Amino acid sequence: MAKIRVLVVDDSATMRGLITAALNRDPDIEVVGAAGDPFEARGMIKALNPDVVTLDIEMPNMNGIEFLEKIMRLRPMPVVMVSSLTQAGAEMTLRALELGAVDCVAKPTIATNTADTLNEVAVKVKAAARASVRTKADGAPAVRRKDYMPSGDIVAIGSSTGGVEALLSILSLFPETCPPTVITQHMPATFTASFAARLDRASGAKVQEAVDGALLEPGKVYVAPGGATHLEIVRSAGLRCRLTQGDPVSGHRPSVDVLFNSVAQAVGEKAVGAILTGMGRDGAQGLLAMRKAGARTVGQDEQSCVVYGMPRTAFELGAVEKQASLSSMGQTILDLASARR
């Protein structure tokens, strides 16, 4: 099997060396070049034809976002963004994911474990090499549902690689009267607040980062904070968010499995579960528990996934009642949660 050929783009020679060394330690990856700025990288892409590019966001002459836009317009290919853990870095990374970058990884800092962070780069590069690269479509804005009739159901959504684009597409359809919705998206801890704010601007619903004890209300969407806790739903004078400490589950914290299992136990048949694009198995067993508890379930189809991992596993387990394309997923979720179904 041929190795995954990677071009590393970063203005810091130290960071280029760290990323290159980490990737070359993986027997499935070969770094074929390293560039210090987008102009050098452009020539290397033409000459070396890499399978994946890792791209720094903050660079001189042309920042990573501008360069990514050119890549996606002229030569679409898998790109993994390498970003600082700052507010500005988070917002620029979200923009990159909207433009078509496959995934992002945080740069190692004094406060983070450098080895773990760099190992994560290799994992995400290998996922990117298998991804279906999609450019951002410039189409008409989504039309929000006007005829949605609340049924009292809640909606639980899980996603990972490719989830930024998917969730923006889905929530842009959600009206002000949408069912209470909870989301676990695999994302670095410092990014989820910015992501919730981005979703809020795109949706008719009110989108916010989940806080412990928050009451689930119609017209509101709650995004699990990244990093330190899992998001669960519990009954306590209504349905509420609970943030719990604990080890990663299915390799993740927050975990989609934890969210879905809690919904199965607390809500049962008055729920809709949706599993979207992402690498791995997280969420499959939890979605199965939801379906066994009587909930309606839907999985994103292979053709519209960036990575058809989580939905595939859920489908093969029998957890998915029906499949839907990304373009129809928002409508499907609302239909399943509607009093008219």
- Tokens 């579960």, residue located: 273
- Residue 252 bears catalytic tag: no
Please report, as a single letter, which amino acid is at residue 284.
Answer: A
- Whole-Å CA distances, 250 to 96, 107, 216, 282: 27, 24, 26, 5
Which residue is catalytic, options 26, 153, 282, 301?
Answer: 282
Please identify which residue in the block is written with the tokens 């597409």.
169
Angstrom distance (rounded) from CA 69 to CA 203: 24
Q: Which of 186, 203, 255, 262 is catalytic?
A: 186
Our answer to whether residue 186 is catalytic in this structure is yes
Choosing from 83, 159, 160, 203, the catalytic residue is 160
> Which strands, in side-by-side order, build the sheet including 4-9?
29-35, 4-9, 52-56, 79-83, 103-106
What the block records as the tokens of 42 is 């452009």
Beta-bridge partners for 235: 239
* Interatomic CA distance for residues 146 and 129, integer angstroms: 40
Closest by Cα among 95, 119, 98, 338 to 106: 119
Quickly tell me which residue has 């979720």 as its tokens.
Answer: 333
Please report the DSSP string for 280-324 in residue order.
SSTTHHHHHHHHHTT-EEEEE-GGG-SSBSHHHHHHHHT--SEEE
Tell me, yes or no, if 138 is annotated catalytic: no
Q: Is the dihedral of CA 115, 118, 120, 125 positive or negative?
A: negative
Sign of CA dihedral 308, 156, 244, 268: negative
Question: Which of 46, 58, 76 has the alpha carbon at shortest distance from 9?
Answer: 58
Q: Which residues are known catalytic residues?
A: 160, 186, 282
